[in-house]
Structure 1
Amino acid sequence: MPRVKLTGYIQFPHNTTANELADVRFELVKHTQLTLNEEGCISFSVTQSPVNDLRFDVNEEFADKAAFEFHQQRVQLSNWFTVSQTATRHYTIIDS
């Protein structure tokens, strides 16, 4: 089965407060741990840009489409999804 790779970034709006960003960073730690423990997760990283605090670069790889879809479903029920809802997502998804 082909692997699924997602790359890109999320961008928070300019009116995002420092407290909101703190919540994002806090939930991101939990989100990362949960994702890395998912069956089929090969790699996962979301890192805050060193030059733009409102941008987070995203790189994910899953063993197959089923693992990727499970991840997407889990995310929608998470606190990470709640705190990152105002961000626009700019992703490329490749089945390799």
Structure 2
Amino acid sequence: MNQSSTPDDKTGKVRLSGQLICTSLDEVDIVQKYLPEHIRLTRSEPGCLSFDVRQTEDPMIWDVEERFTDRLAFEAHQIRTKGSAWGAATSAIRREYEISADS
């Protein structure tokens, strides 16, 4: 995952935006299979303000937009995601994300 420098501030909203980039139809199938539950679980996390993943006009690319109340909520999301079925199934799919914080 390509990320810009991660905010050190523990306060302020955290935003992740970027793309999930599939390189095969098999990867697209994996995203379509696991994404609905990943979205449901993420939106129910404490501190999640918004979480949207949308397929672009290019069916191999998905736009990702996440917002969390603060750095701690964002970090908790990252930990949960890595240990989830989504995390395991999509770990090889390329991600290009930028992370920023609002004061």
Tell me, yes or no, whether TM beats 0.5: yes
Q: Partners in 2 of 1:56 and 1:30 — Cα distance?
A: 16
Is residue 21 of structure 1 aligned with residue 31 of structure 2? no
Give the one of 64, 68, 93 matched to 1:58: 64
Number of aligned positions between the proteins: 92
Instruction: Could you tell me which runs of 5 or more consecutive residues in structure 2 were left unpaired when the two chains were aligned.
Output: 1-10
Which stretches of structure 1, 4 residues or more, deviate above 4 A after TM superposition? none
Corresponding residue for residue 67 of structure 1: 73
Deviations 1:5-60 (A, max 9, x none): 000101112xx234x4223212100000000000000000011112x111110000
Identity %: 35
Corresponding residue for residue 4 of structure 2: none
User: Normalising to structure 2: TM-score of the pair?
Assistant: 0.83
Larger deviation, residues 64-73 vs 21-30? 21-30
Task: Please report the RMSD computed on the Cα atoms of aligned residues, expressed in angstroms.
Answer: 1.2
Instruction: Could you tell me which runs of 5 or more consecutive residues in structure 1 were left unpaired when the two chains were aligned.
Output: none
Corresponding residue for residue 2 of structure 1: 12
